[in-house]
Every structure is written in structure tokens, then in C-alpha cells.
Amino acid sequence: MDLLDRYLGAVAALLPAAQRDDIVAELRDVLMSRIEDREAQQGRPLDKKALEALFREFGHPLAVAGRYGPQRALIGAELYPFYIFAVKVALAIAAFVAVIPAVFGAVTSHGDVSRAIGHAIHAFIPSALTLIGAITIIGAMIERGWIKTGEFGQWRVSDLPHISTKKQWFRTTRFEALFEVIFMTFFALWWAGVVDFPGSRGPFGHDGELQITLAPILTQLHTPILLLAIGQALSGLILVTRPAWIAPRAVAEIVLSIAGIALAAVLWGQMPLVTFAGPGASAEDFVTLRHVADNIFRGCVLVTVAICAGKILIEGWRLLRLTFR
């Protein structure tokens, strides 16, 4: 059985030393049984060609050794749903980081959409691959126990949210809440001058070709806007980490929505909120861009008021239901 010994030797070389002898002995018994069964079917000993076919059917030594190895999957079945969720979040982050600057670039370059799309794709692909690669490495380390999850696996049914099986039109999912957390965190960091945005370095210092000057009212409301963004991010974080805290999040959403409507009312009467300038150009050269920005801001203010009013009604109704349940 030269072929059998050679096959088992190739498998043994890929096995952990501690279990090697036992696994090889088990494989030898299995393969000998298959050879005997095949010989009984054909009524003659198997020749070299028939043995090659039998071993090929059984599997490549690398695949066979993988069946008996200490780790059979990079990301196990139990961790896989969490991994997929993290990948979706990573794709959303990469898309956000790529699309927002591209849209801004399209506006400032007089509607060069094709160039903006190219920039978005060019930024999205490496960002997405980098994030997914990092998530995969972290997932593999968790799967092998190199990263301890602590009490994460000690979840309780009492911590789960009260979710009806009936269709609900105004229920925010945890994925949507996580995207809200990411968006508001990015906005808060930019508003605080921690991260850069295309054409500027924070809202109060500019060193790019396109200079953005904010209206005085935005300077006066800098801290309230920052606190509102942080509060909205924390509200989303409640749903992501503590979905059973329905009442606290409802109260937070109502308070934040009232503050948002008040802020929108103040900003509505202070248009335009931004003016543009650039090297060798006067403010008049950016009249079209300013009109576009004004229309965008007015639309955003109206949408914000509508969303805040809806949140007040929805979250207020949820509080009433919890109170009189």
C-alpha cells in the first residue's frame, strides 16, 4: 500500500503533532474499509489508477487535514452573523466617507458628475477593503480566543427590546441607529475642528482653494449645535447597545427634537448661512454656488423640522403606551 502510506504521510504532515497518530490511525481504518468495499464490488484488487481515483474522491490532503484541525473556519457559524453586521457597517462608513466629499466636489466644480463619481469609487474601494480586512482579522482573533469578549456572550432575554411581530412603519432598526451614530459623530468631530472636510480644516479655519465663511449666527450657536450632535449620537447609541431602554431613548429623542426645531427656527431667519471665496476671485464669482447652498440648507431645515415633529409624536406615543401598559 505504497499509495496509501504516501497519502496518509501527506495528511499527517499537516496535522497537529498531539493528535497526529490517532487521526492517521482513524483515517487508515476508514480508507482500508473503502478499499475493501471497492475491491468487493469489482471482484479484484484495485490497481494504481483505481486507488488514485479513490483517494481523489476522499479529498486532497490539505482539505482532509483541515477537517481534523483545531480550527475549521476563519469565522465560525456563531460569530458569522456579527461579522456580517460589522461588514455592513464598514461598507456604510466607506460609502459615507467617499460619497459626501464627492457630492461636495461636484457642487464646487460646477456639476462635473462623472469626475465626482470617479472620485467616489476611487475613495470607496480602498476604504471598504481596508475596513473589511481589519474586521476579518479581528473576527478571526475572536474566533480563536485571542481576543476575549468578556461578558458579551452573557446576554439576557430581559435586555432584549419589546418588538412586535406586526409590521411597524416607524421603528428604527439597530443598523439605522448605528449609521446615525457614525454620521453624527463624524459631524461633531468636523464641527469641533478635529477632522478635515473637503475645502476646509474645520468650520472656523480654511486653507484650501475654496474658502467657506460661516454666518455669525453659526459662530454664536457653535456650542449648542455641537451638543445637539453629540446628544443625537448618544441617543442612537442607546438603541445600539441597550435596545430595551425604550423610555430613556424616547425622552432623549423628544428633548433633542424640540431643541432641533428651536435651532431650525433660529437658522431659518439667518440665511445665507455660508459664503464662498477663493484665491484671485471675489464673492460675486460664487453667487451660483451660494444660491445652491442656500437652497440645500433651506431644504435641510424643512426636512429637519418635519423629522423632529414626527419624532415628538412617535416617541410621545411610545411613552404613553409604556405608561398605561
Q: Is the pTM of this model over 0.75?
A: no
pLDDT tens column, 156-214? 555 555 555 454 545 566 667 777 888 888 888 878 877 655 444 444 444 445 566 77
d(CA 28, CA 299): 74
- 26 pLDDT tier (thresholds 50, 70, 90): very high
Reported as half-sphere exposure (CB side, CA atoms, 13 A), residue 301 has a value of 18
User: Cα dihedral sign for 78, 82, 85, 90?
Assistant: negative
Mean pLDDT of the chain: 78
Residue 148 has pLDDT above 90, yes or no: no
Task: Pick the more confident residue, 212 or 38.
Answer: 38
More confidently predicted of 18 and 282: 18
- Helical H runs in the chain? 2-12, 20-42, 48-58, 61-68, 80-108, 113-143, 174-191, 216-220, 222-241, 246-268, 287-323
Higher pLDDT, 3 or 196: 3
| pLDDT of 257 | 92
Confidence of residue 268 (pLDDT cuts 50, 70, 90): confident
Share of the chain above pLDDT 90, in %: 12
249, three cell numbers: 431613548
Helix (H) or strand (E) holding 140: helix 113-143
Q: Which three cell numbers stand for residue 9?
A: 504521510
Non-local (6+) Cβ contacts of 211 within 8 A are 199, 200, 276, 277, 278
Phi/psi at 121 (5° precision): -65, -45
Least confident of 4-18, 28-42, 80-94: 80-94
Q: What is the pLDDT of residue 208?
A: 47
